[in-house]
Amino acid sequence: MGAGMSEKSEEKPLFNASDVVPRRVEWSRLELEGKVSFHQGEPLTMDCYDLPQFDPRRVAPISGLDVCLVHFLESDTWAIAPSREEVSAWAIAAAYVRLGFVPPLAVMDRLEERSDLVPIETRRVAQVVREEVIARQDRLNRILKLLDTVVKNLPF
């Protein structure tokens, strides 16, 4: 199995980070001002993806994925940031899953047909993404059905 993955880790519930959107951050300025600290590498690009309600005591290794953890000291919040140019969406999604999160839709939307992960990790990420997509699809179908009923019952 990939680093940080075990049979038990696959069974624990994941925190949902699917609504997280990437943001741009000027790392050098924040580092000079002492407002961030980097873990398991350093960010290379200005992009980052927040980890809502992240507990650093639960940190899992994300080595080999070309991402690092960033701690925003003032807000005591955490994020994932690419530690090299052109990090794949599969790697970012895998980091989220290793850390116990459903990946953001913005990352899911960028997944490509070929994964650069080991097969067992690709399967785990694909399973998590699939479950989230199905859950959202079911919810959206219920909303569509409700809207159809509402419109159908409207007076002319």
Q: Alpha-carbon distance 33 to 54, whole Å?
A: 23
Minimal CA–CA distance to 71: which of 51, 93, 94, 101?
A: 51
The answer to whether 40 touches 68, Cβ cutoff 8 Å, is yes
Q: What is the mean pLDDT of residues 91-116?
A: 92
Q: Which residues contact 15 (CB under 8 A, 6 or more apart)?
A: 52, 53, 100, 101, 102
For residue 57, what pLDDT is reported?
83
Asked if the model's pLDDT at residue 8 lies above 50, the reply is: no
Model pTM score: 0.81
Percent of the chain with pLDDT over 90: 64
Rounded mean pLDDT of 103-124?
A: 91
Mean pLDDT, the chain, rounded, equals: 87
| pLDDT number for residue 156 | 77
pLDDT at 80: 95
Confidence at residue 12, expressed as pLDDT on a 0 to 100 scale: 60
- Segments making up each domain of the chain, as ranges: 7-152
Whether pLDDT at 4 is above 80: no
User: What is residue 30's predicted lDDT score, i.e. its pLDDT?
Assistant: 94
Using alpha carbons only, give the angle 77, 80, 81 rounded to the nearest 5 degrees: 120
Residue keyed to tokens 């990437």: 22
Lowest mean pLDDT among 7-11, 50-54, 135-139: 7-11
